[in-house]
A and B are shown apart, each in its own frame.
Chain A
Amino acid sequence: MLKFVRKRAVASLISLIGLIVMVFFLSRLTGDPAALFLPVEASAEMKEQFRELHGLNDPLLVQFARYVGDVLTGDFGESLRKARPALDVVLEAFVWTLWLAVITMALVAGAAIVVGSLAAFRAGGFFDRLSSVISLIGASVPDFWVAIVAIVIFSVNLAWLPTSGTGSLLHWILPISVLFIRPFGIIVQVVRGSMIGALSSAYVKTARAKGVKSGPIIFVHALRNAMLPVITVIGDQAASLLNGAVIVETIFGFPGVGKLMIDSILQRDFNVVLAAILVTALAIFLMNLLIDLAYALLDPRIRH
């Protein structure tokens, strides 16, 4: 087990280094932060001095070496825009994203498993067709559109929920609902497919021969076997949520890491971009590890 974790950690470290190199140089190709930090009227000297102040005048390789050196000592640099440590900025935002992702995925997984399983149990039936069409439409509607319509309906017209922001539990409902739609549609389809396979398998026949009821057959016998591909997809979807739900965060004024990343690259706040990428990549790595553990937990055949 430990050996497995170590092997994965090495692989991830390689990916992480590749990621840093790529982001570092690519982001610097996108332009000069001085032009964005200072107003258009600022003089050339002011811009020059700004670059000098933030070490942007050194050759890229020197900057890179300095950055790597700093990161190795745990220093991720300062945010150009916010004049505070980039890591603090990122971690603050990441906590929000993490909660948003965890809660959303928990709800999505729960709902998709129940709906997908029931659809599979009566494959081709009315419920199956209905859930297919709904999940498909859900997967092809732009989320910003849904978000704004939801605000208009539920906050403005019905006044049931706050429009946006953070503060109470009610504030979470709309963003989570909007984020819910797309992964739900995808995971329902995967659960359905996987469950159809599991329900037609031989051990389900055995269970029926034992006189086990439909409920336990679906949710005890078949489901656990059907979960492996489902968990993979849940992982992929969770990863994309961890990378930040930019649109939803933007519309609902949710202080997450996705909006932070996009804002930071718009403002060429490179240190924040890099720190954000590192933190999310690390989180995704840990999540993948958890998923592998879940595999082993669900399926004893994988344990060694």
Chain B
Amino acid sequence: MKKMLVLGALMLGSALSPAFAGSGPIKIVLPEEADLLEPCMATRSNIGRIIMQNVSETLTELDLRGDKGLMPRLAEKWEQNADGSWRFHLRQGVKFSDGTAFDAKDVKHSFDRIMSDKNACESRRYFGGMTVTPTVVDDHTIDFKADPAQPILPLLMSLVTIVPEETPLEFVREPVGTGPYKLTNWTPGQQIVLTLRDDYWGAKPDVTEATYLFRADPSVRAAMVQTGEADLSPSISQLDATNPATDFSYLDSETVYLRIDHNIEPLNDVRVRRALNLAIDRQAFIGTLVPEGALLATAIVPPPTLGWNPDVKVFPFDPEGAKKLLEEAKADGVKVETPITIIARSANFPNVTEIMEAIQAQLQDVGFKVDLKFVEVAEHEQYYSKPFKEGRGPQIVAAMHDNSKGDPSFSMFFKYASDGTQSGFADPKVDDLIKRASAVVGDERAKLWSELIAYLHNDVVADVLLFHMVGFSRVSERLDFKPTMATNSTLQLSEIKIK
């Protein structure tokens, strides 16, 4: 009854008063509460989804909706100086939500703050292995000099949120930014409200106010949009995504793979690693345990990423071939009988237990001895990242990696370089390719990344790449919004239109 009334009111509202159509408040329900709203932590998805580009803006912005590549945001344009440093020309007339004006000193402070040891800003991680020095040229111009030179520095700047220079180095709880919204209410545990600013420099979005709610249970989130308690839930369960009018799947930037520890027999043998790949019937998962729309992965980064290689083909499902490879290896004295442990993280992604159980079964079918072990996040991290435990047995770590940044450099070093924290092997050619690719731009960069992807997949057989996952969102019919790969980490309110 009540539902009908609400529906009726909605229809009346849209039919009779077109003046209201097009703007208004919305409610968004998210799975995990933001425990902080600290701008320099905005690269963490539960925080970024709320404040990134809504409250705190960056100098540049990567377009994941279209194919415009890197776009200007607070920087109007940028160029590389002769000495390899980058010069950013800043937008003028921009005001922070506290009323102060935005200038180059704010950019420098924002960067210094991220690099400070007085806090634990997580965006600092993108600047590991380099020294970056910002120099204020004038109020609206700033230079960034990186050593070694960084061809993708403008891309990195899409991860640096700008705060006023008065911001203390310690974490703040009231983010101040230049974005179209400001934080107007934060009741921990219940809701966060962002309200549209009148003095925003850019185009005025439809959404006048966004209330964020948090529910851990996916079916509750889906139910909330259905009952009108919320307008948008960026992530619901595949099982609940049954209404084509409101439920959309989208390729999120998550890639599921099995990281192999090459250091321990029998996983040090390439035939064994190839057998692992051939034994798994990836296609059988799609539409069953993994939602329709997910892609079979051939690289750790999803297709829109620079250098993604269309020529690399997914390993076929070939149990016979796998068995043969195992026999060969066994004939050469490789101890293929050694039990291999697959370590997976509970609740890492939907159906993780079922998927892992299925993979275990498939590997066992071709003759592997496989144990499956589920651990919680902190313990998983100990298996996933270096230093690895001494005296361990052969291990495979099931993990999910997220790269929506458009460039493989955010993944390749960590996952494959000899020094990479999650790398299971050391290969000089891989190291060399990563180093070379990181130092160049443009087509050259793309070519080198492609080469690396093919080499890892076909020759090293570095790991078992599984799926680029899709997420499901439920969007109220009064909204016009299609989630994208970016939705995982950024949810720009300005992209949401109200019908």
Chain B residues with CB under 8 A of A67? none
Complex alpha-carbon distance, A162 and B226, angstroms: 11
Contact B223 A163 (CB under 8 A): yes
CB distance from A221 to the nearest CB of B (A): 46
Provide the main secondary structure of the chain B interface.
Answer: loop
State whether the Cβ of B214 lies closer than 8 Å to any Cβ in chain A: yes
Residues A49 and B117 in contact, CB atoms below 8 Å apart? yes
Whether A253 contacts B214 in the complex (CB less than 8 A), given A40-B422, A148-B219, A156-B226, comes out as yes
Tell me if B68 counts as interface (CB < 8 A to partner A). no
Contact at A162–B229, with CB atoms within 8 Å?
Answer: yes
Given A40-B381, A164-B220: A84 and B173 interface contact (C-beta under 8 Å):
yes
Complex: how many Å from CA A160 to CA B6?
A: 12
**Proximity string of chain A (74-90) to chain B, C-beta cutoff 8 Å, 1 when within and 0 when not:** 00000101111000010
Candidate in A37, A156, A253 with the most chain B CB atoms within 10 angstroms? A253
Task: Say yes or no: A163-B117 contact (C-beta < 8 A), given A92-B188, A148-B219, A250-B217.
Answer: no
Q: Is B190's CB under 8 angstroms from A43's CB?
A: no
A165 touches B190 (CB 8 A): yes
- Residue from the list A31, A46, A255 in contact with B188, Cβ < 8 A: A255
Which of B44, B188, B220 is packed against the most chain A CB atoms within 10 Å? B220
A151-B223 contact, Cβ under 8 Å, with A49-B117, A93-B189, A251-B217: yes
Closest chain A residue to B215, Cβ basis: A253
What is the chain B residue whose CB lies nearest that of A43? B128
> CB-nearest residue of chain A relative to B45?
A39
- How many cross-chain pairs have Cβ atoms below 8 Å apart between A and B? 122
Contacts of B36 in A (CB 8 A): 81-83
A251 and B220: CB pair below 8 A?
yes
Query: A18-47 vs B: 1/0 string, CB under 8 Å?
Result: 000000000000111001111111111010
**Contact: B414 with A41, CB < 8 Å?**
yes
Task: Enumerate B149-208 residues with CB–CB distance to A below 8 Å.
Answer: 170-171, 173, 188-190
A30 to B375, CA, bound (A): 12
**Is B421 engaged at the interface, CB distance under 8 Å to the other chain?**
yes
Q: Mark the stretch among B119-127, B132-140, B306-314, B451-459 that contacts chain A.
A: B119-127
B residues 356-410 in Cβ contact with A at 8 Å: 376-379, 381-382, 384-385, 410
Mask of A192-215 contacts with B, CB within 8 angstroms, 1/0? 000000000000000000000000
Taking residues whose C-beta sits less than 8 angstroms from the other chain, chain B's interface range is 35 or more
Q: Which residues of A177-194 are within 8 A (CB) of B? A: none
Contact across chains for A268 and B378 when beta carbons are under 8 A apart = yes
> Does B422 lie within 8 Å of A266, measured CB to CB?
no
| Contact of B256 with A by CB under 8 A | no
Residues of A within 8 A of B217 (CB): 148, 250-251
A82 neighbours in B (Cβ, 8 Å): 35-36, 188
Say which residue of B170, B173, B382 sits within 8 Å of A35 (CB atoms): B382
Residues in B with CB closer than 8 Å to A49 are 117, 120
B426 within 8 A of partner (CB): no
Do A36 and B377 touch across chains, with their CB atoms under 8 A apart? yes
Picked from B120, B125, B216, the residue with its CB within 8 Å of the CB of A251 is: B216
Q: In angstroms, how far is the closest chain B Cβ from the Cβ of A30?
A: 7
Whether A39 pairs with B128 at a CB distance below 8 angstroms is no
> Is the CB–CB distance between A31 and B378 below 8 Å?
yes
Cβ of A240 under 8 Å from chain B: no
Which chain A positions have C-beta within 8 A of B3?
159
Within 8 Å CB of B44, what residues of A? 39
Are A41 and B120 in contact (CB-based, < 8 A)? no
Question: Which listed residue (B125, B223, B224, B379) contacts A41, Cβ 8 A?
Answer: B125
Q: Residues of A contacting B38 with CB < 8 Å?
A: 83
Contacts of A31 in B (CB 8 A): 378-379, 382
User: Which residues 92-107 of A have a CB within 8 angstroms of B?
Assistant: 92-93, 96
Q: Is A50 in contact with chain B by the CB < 8 A criterion? A: yes
Tell me, rounded to whole Å, the shortest Cβ–Cβ distance linking B215 to chain A. Answer: 4
Q: Least Cβ distance of A266 to chain B in Å?
A: 7
For residue A15, CB closer than 8 A to chain B, the reply is: no
Tell me if B338 is interfacial: C-beta within 8 Å of chain A. Answer: no
Q: Is A57 an interface residue (CB 8 A)?
A: no
A35's nearest neighbour on chain B, judged by CB, is: B381
Within 8 A of A (CB), among B77-106: none
The residue in A30, A42, A53 that gathers the most chain B C-beta atoms within 10 A of its C-beta is A42
With known contacts A93-B189, A159-B3, A164–B381 Cβ distance under 8 A: no
Per the bound structure, the CA–CA distance linking A155 and B385 in Å amounts to 44
Q: Identify the closest chain B residue to A92 (Cβ).
A: B188
Tell whether A71 is near chain B: CB-to-CB under 8 Å: no
Q: With A and B bound together, what is the CA distance between A49 and B410 in angstroms?
A: 22
Whole-angstrom distance between the Cβ of B203 and the nearest chain A Cβ: 32
Residue from the set B36, B120, B421 with the largest chain A CB neighbour count within 10 Å? B120
> Which residues of B sit under 8 angstroms from A79, Cβ to Cβ?
35
Chain A residues whose C-beta falls within 8 Å of the C-beta of B224 in the assembled complex: 163-164
Closest 5 interchain pairs by CB? Answer: A255-B189, A159-B3, A31-B378, A83-B171, A253-B215
Q: Which residues of B come within 8 Å of A, CB atoms?
A: 1-3, 35-36, 38, 43-44, 117-120, 122, 124-125, 128, 170-171, 173, 188-190, 213-217, 219-220, 223-224, 226-227, 229, 376-379, 381-382, 384-385, 410, 414, 421-422
10 more A-B residue pairs beyond the given contacts A30-B378, A39-B44, A52-B117, with a C-beta to C-beta distance below 8 A: A40-B384, A41-B410, A43-B128, A53-B120, A89-B188, A155-B227, A159-B3, A163-B224, A165-B215, A268-B378
Q: Could you name 22 residue pairs across A and B whose Cβ atoms are closer than 8 Å?
A: A31-B378, A35-B385, A36-B377, A38-B120, A39-B43, A43-B421, A44-B421, A49-B120, A53-B118, A81-B35, A151-B223, A152-B219, A156-B227, A159-B3, A162-B227, A162-B229, A163-B220, A165-B190, A251-B216, A251-B217, A252-B220, A255-B190
